[in-house]
Amino acid sequence: MTSVHEKLKEMPALGREIAEDGWAYMDGGFVPFADAKVSVATHALQYGTGIFEGIRGYWNAAHEELYVFRLREHFERMERSSRILRITLPGTAAELSRLVVELLRRNGQRTDVYVRPFAYKAARSVKVSLQGLREGFALYAFPLGAYLPTDGATAVTTSWHRTSDAAIPARGKLSGSYINTALAVDEANDRGADEAIFLTADGQVSEGGGSNLFMVRDGALVTPPVTADILEGITRDSVMTLAREELGLAVVERSIDRTELYVADELFFSGTGAQIAPCVRIDGRAVGSGRIGPVAKRLGDVYFAVARGDDPRHPEWRTPVFR
C-alpha cells in the first residue's frame, strides 16, 4: 500500500511554474486560467497591497471525492486580513466557499489540490495608499504535493527577524509581507536547510518561514503565542485540537527561547502548505533522536486521515466538492 508520504512525493514539485489549465475566477466571473491577467501597473504588483489564502483539497479515491479542508475558516481569516488592508471582499465566507467548490467542479480536479484566493488593490496607480483604490478578486487552483519534506525536514534559525506587528503584521496574510519569508527561506536554502525559523525582534522563537512551529518538551506540546508575530494558523488550530483529543497532550502557548529548540524532544512545522512536517535537525544539531518522533508521527497520521476523509471525525472540517 502506498503511504501518505509516498503519495505526496508523487505530486507536482513545489517551485515549478503553475500550468494555466482549466478555469480561474476573476472579478465576478469564471474565465480561462490563461486569461486571468492584471496590468503591469497594478497597485498590488508595485506595492504588495494584496491579501491571500492557501487552501488544501485532498482527493479520496475510495470515496471518489475531493475534500476541501477547513474552507470556511480560511475565508473567515481572509476577512480579518481584509480589515488590515482596507479591502472589501466580494462576498461572505459562505459565498466565497461556494465559488471554490464551483471552480473545482468546473476543473474536474481529482487529485490533491491547492486553492489560492487573492484580493488586491487593482487600480493602475502609483499612489502609495490604501484608500480610494479600485479592488480586484481572483481565485485559482492547481495540483500540489508536499511544500516541506514530511519525512524529516532540516531547519536553521535565520538572521532575518520576523516582522513585528508594529511594522508589517504577520497575523494577516498580506502579500507584501512575504518578502520577509522569501529572504529567510532563501538564506536557509543557501545554508542547506529546508526551512527557516524566525526569531522576534526580542529574540524569542516566532515561526517557520511559511509555517507555524511546535515543540514537544517534558510531555507537553508547546507553540509560540499569537503575540509572537505569527500567522494565526488554521492547521495550527487543527493540530492543537487533535493533540488534545487524540493524544491527551497538554497544549501550551508560551514564549520559547531559541536554545529550547536545541533541547526539545521533537519539533515539527504545521501549515496548509507544510501540513505536518517533522523537523529532525536544527542549526546543525539533531532534534531528539534525530528521527521523526512519536508525537509528530501520530499527529501527522491523524491529520492526513481526517483531512482526506479516511477518519470520519470532524466532518465540519471537510467540504466535499462532487457530492
Domains in the chain (CATH in brackets) are: 4-143 (3.30.470.10), 153-308 (3.20.10.10)
Task: Please give the model's pTM, rounded to 2 decimal places.
Answer: 0.93
Task: Report the C-alpha dihedral over residues 70, 303, 234, 321, rounded to 10 degrees.
Answer: -20
Q: From CA 126, how far away is CA 86, in angstroms rounded?
A: 17
Structure confidence by residue, pLDDT tens digits, 270-312? 999 999 999 999 999 999 999 999 999 999 999 999 999 999 9
DSSP-assigned letters across all residues of 160-210: SPPPPTTTS-TTS-BGGGHHHHHHHHHHHHHTT-SEEEEE-TTSBEEEESS
Structure confidence by residue, pLDDT tens digits, 85-138? 999 999 999 999 999 999 999 999 999 999 999 999 999 999 999 999 999 999
Annotated catalytic sites, by residue?
173
CB atoms closer than 10 angstroms to residue 181: 22
